[in-house]
Amino acid sequence: MLDDNSAPNGKRISLNPSNCVHCKTCDIEDPYQIITWVPPEGGGGPNYDGM
């Protein structure tokens, strides 16, 4: 969450998709359910050991 005086409640969400490991935390922790998480085109995302 970043401070943003123009946003409602003075905060906005900032995501960096280039660093995404597809853990789905952004969707799970979204208090307003405004993030619609979808896997990358062509599959379910990476298959990491231990996740």
The residues, ordered by sequence, that sit 6+ positions from 15 with a Cβ below 8 Å of its Cβ are 26
4, pLDDT greater than 70: yes
Predicted pLDDT of residue 15:
73
Whether residue 6 is contained in a domain is answered as: yes
Give pTM, 2 decimals. 0.43
pLDDT (mean) for 16-45: 76
Domain count, the chain: 1
Whether residue 49 is contained in a domain is answered as: no
Predicted pLDDT of residue 10:
92
Whether residue 46 is contained in a domain is answered as: no
DSSP-based three-state secondary structure for 12 = strand
Q: What domain range includes position 15?
A: 1-39
21 burial level (CB within 10 Å; 0-12, 13-18, 19+): exposed
Neighbouring CB atoms inside 10 A of 43's CB total 8
Choice between 24 and 46, residue whose per-residue pLDDT is larger: 24
Owner of token pair 């970043």: 2
